[in-house]
Amino acid sequence: DAGITQSPRHKVTETGTPVTLRCHQTENHRYMYWYRQDPGHGLRLIHYSYGVKDTDKGEVSDGYSVSRSKTEDFLLTLESATSSQTSVYFCAISDPQKGGYSNQPQHFGDGTRLSIL
Amino acid sequence: KQEVTQIPAALSVPEGENLVLNCSFTDSAIYNLQWFRQDPGKGLTSLLLIQSSQREQTSGRLNASLDKSSGRSTLYIAASQPGDSATYLCAVSREGNYKLTFGKGTLLTVNP
């Protein structure tokens, strides 16, 4: 399995509080991604990073910010959590430089289950 | 905007049966197509990746095909086993871009 660790694995918090989720990888992959998974919507991309301090928005980025100060860590922050952000959050990594651009699958962490009351 | 559809949403089969899962996408300008497996409470495990220039990929009892022009892919599972029970997801990436667009998945149950 790809070395991806998400923390925390579970979190319950209240509306309006800030929340930070961490994704740590040991594979030295260039690309890192944050997805959320919701019933009826499937997996949707929130933000992604293509290098240290290089990030871009995904499909559902409103209410979320990210930071990547080191290759191995990608942080997802909910500045003021809302109940609509209750979800399971997955981190993924990939590196197109390994074996050619189109040939590298994304590898996923085990997810963080976040409940906002 | 790319849309990915998976049919059926759920499938229940007896052990030993061969089965096909379907995936369709609306924009044929894809970079690659990936099939994943997700077990309850777990992350996604990559099963097969088909590059846009390829027609199929095989791994063990799994075979995935891609018809880019018609916007379709199938995942064929031979001689299904109870351990194959999981949700199967397909996802496509856009040419020149590595972001994935996912289907909602097919929940497969293989009954012993």
Tell me, what DSSP letter sits at residue A80? S
- Taking Cα atoms as reference points, which of A62, A69, A60, A63 lies closest to residue A32? A69
Q: What proportion of chain B, given as a percentage, has pLDDT over 70? A: 97
> What pLDDT shows up at residue B94?
80
Query: What would the pLDDT profile of B40-78 be if each residue is shown by its tens digit?
Result: 988 999 999 998 889 999 999 999 999 999 999 999 999
CB pairs under 8 A between A and B: 57
Query: Does B3 reach chain A within 8 Å, measured CB to CB?
Result: no
Q: Which of B53, B57, B99 to mutate to test the interface with A (most CBs of A within 10 A)?
A: B99
> What pLDDT shows up at residue A42?
87
Q: Taking 80 as the threshold, does the pLDDT of residue B98 lie above it?
A: no
Question: Is residue B97 very low, low, confident or very high in pLDDT (cuts 50, 70, 90)?
Answer: low
- Which structure tokens are listed for B69? 């022009």
* Nearest residue in chain A measured CA to CA from B100: A45
- Which structure tokens are listed for A111? 């997810």
Q: Which of A21, A34, A43 to mutate to test the interface with B (most CBs of B within 10 A)?
A: A43
Residue A95: CB atoms within 10 Å: 16
- Taking Cα atoms as reference points, which of B107, B103, B62 lies closest to residue B85? B107
- Helices assigned H by DSSP within A1-117: none
Query: Does A10 reach chain B within 8 Å, measured CB to CB?
Result: no
What does the longest C-alpha to C-alpha distance in chain B come to?
Answer: 44
Q: Which residue has the higher pLDDT, B98 or B4?
A: B4
Query: Does A102 reach chain B within 8 Å, measured CB to CB?
Result: yes
What does the longest C-alpha to C-alpha distance in chain A come to?
Answer: 44
Query: What would the pLDDT profile of B76-86 be if each residue is shown by its tens digit?
Result: 999 999 999 99
- Which chain A residues are closer than 8 Å to B91 by Cβ? 43
Query: Does B51 reach chain A within 8 Å, measured CB to CB?
Result: yes
Query: What would the pLDDT profile of A79-97 be if each residue is shown by its tens digit?
Result: 999 999 999 999 999 887 6
> What pLDDT shows up at residue A20?
98
Element (H, E) at B87: strand B86-94
* Residues in chain A, pLDDT under 70: 1-2, 97-103
